[in-house]
Structure 1
Amino acid sequence: MQVLENSGKKGSSHKGYLWAYHAPADGLVFFDYCPGRDKTGPERILKDFSGVIQTDGYNVYQSLFEKNQSIYHYFCMSHIRRKFDEAVKNDNQRAAWAVGTIGQLYGIEKEIREHMPPLSEGQIVEKRMTKALPILTQLHEWMQQEYPKVLPQSPIGKAIGYALPLMESMRLYALHGDLQIDNNLIENAIRPIALGRRNYLFAGTHDTAQNAAMIYSLFATCKKHGVNPYDWLLDILRKVNDPDYDGKFSDLLPNRWKLNQ
């Protein structure tokens, strides 16, 4: 997100970043604006967190979580696959094999999603351990064998080099029925931000960029819960301005507001 700078120089702007957080079990989305892309933002937000975190392969995450014994960190298969998609023109044989093998993993996830009646978490784990784990192992071993044979700076070399350090942790999703193979659930929530950037071009200040992040968070959470943003906003603005409102403001969050409708 471009943010205007008060530097006196005409047209001067700063490139800030919106960090995206998603709690799938609760359907909550949170965007946090930070002036930079170092670990300061996620370190502040996640300082008291314990549990499982899924991210892309950006190296800041690894340095942030690798020594934290209360966090189990794994990665996104969609980002891994994307690198191999980009390498098809460079090395079709290797890249196509990797894309096809990853496609088998997604085929298993499709079977799980479409199974009727829905599978329990235990049944999902059993299916993933039986069918997905051997494929993950095969893919990992293939990367170890092929990486020394390719140029590290070639597209296929970059694809394998990106994926190889992540593969061991990718086994985590196969061992838990409530985890996802990728973070596409939050990736979909990011799309309106890209559209917004094309419309308003920049934020006026760092403070207004954080305000925009707050609005994006609330509206993305509305979408997760099937809440009409207009109806929600109309109702909660009336309540927060009503001196007789004696409820909790936290109950006005979209996920809780819906329960009272």
Structure 2
Amino acid sequence: MEKKIHEKKGVTFDAVREYRLEKEVPVLEGFWKWLDAQHAAKGTRMYKALTYIQNRRPFLDTYLEDGGCSFNNNTSERSCKAFVIGRKNFLFADTPDGATASALVYSLVEIAKANGADVYYYLKYLLTKTPTNLTSDEELEKLCPWDPECKDALEQLHHADQKTIFDAM
């Protein structure tokens, strides 16, 4: 069901949420009803599996609340893979502060990618805004790549660069 909704182009998070509530909730309810009817001998692998899933039940349904959430963490795992593989080769990562800085920059890059923003222009935009620890939450929210103001600013940066390139020709 998740694959079906995500194959469609231009689907909003609200549409994903509505689809999940309509199509997936009945399937999950059936699964939970089936699960509740299962009885396994204590100490068996089946008993451990049933206990494991029932203990996580409150958390498993949370993906239904937000269309932007994923049913699994495969995307997160894939986005971290390059960082984990390359971290030993990163410049200045030989100290804890260097590793923290690398992780922060890498997080910004992945956030930009996940929101369809051009990484170069997003980082350029952030560096011109130079947020600090004194920047308010509202101001930080406007620097996020999903914010309409940020999207407009990124488009303007891109067009300005394109104009400069064509003017130089």
TM-score, normalised relative to structure 2:
0.56
**Post-superposition offset of 1:198:** 5.9
Matched AA of 1:260: Q
Q: Deviations 1:179-201 (Å, cap 9, x if unpaired)?
A: 4323334333211222114646x
Which 5+ residue runs of structure 2 have no aligned equivalent? 132-139, 158-169
Could you say what the CA RMSD is over the residues aligned between the two structures, in angstroms? 4.0
CA distance in 1, matches of 2:48, 2:31: 16
Cα 1:160/1:259, change in 2 over 3 Å: farther
Identity among equivalent positions (%) equals: 24
Match of 1:138 in 2: 30
Q: Secondary structure at the match of 2:71?
A: coil
Match of 1:148 in 2: 40
1:248 aligns with 2:124: no
Matched AA of 1:121: D
CA distance in 1, matches of 2:48, 2:100: 34
**Post-superposition offset of 1:114:** 3.1
CA distance in 2, matches of 1:208, 1:123: 39
Q: Equivalences for 1:82-231 in 2 at 5 Å?
A: 108-115=1-8, 118=11, 121=14, 124-125=17-18, 127-146=19-38, 148-149=40-41, 151=43, 154=45, 157-174=47-64, 176-197=66-87, 199=89, 203-224=93-114, 225-229=116-120
CA distance in 2, matches of 1:110, 1:149: 36
Using CA pairs under 8 Å that are at least 6 residues apart, name the structure with larger relative contact order, 1 or 2: 1
**Post-superposition offset of 1:113:** 2.2
Matched AA of 1:195: I
Q: Secondary structure at the match of 1:148?
A: coil
**Post-superposition offset of 1:158:** 4.7
Q: Secondary structure at the match of 2:80?
A: helix
TM-score, normalised relative to structure 1:
0.40
Structure ranking higher in helix proportion: 2
Structure ranking higher in strand proportion: 1
Q: Contact conserved, 1:189 with 1:220, CA < 8 A, in 2? A: yes
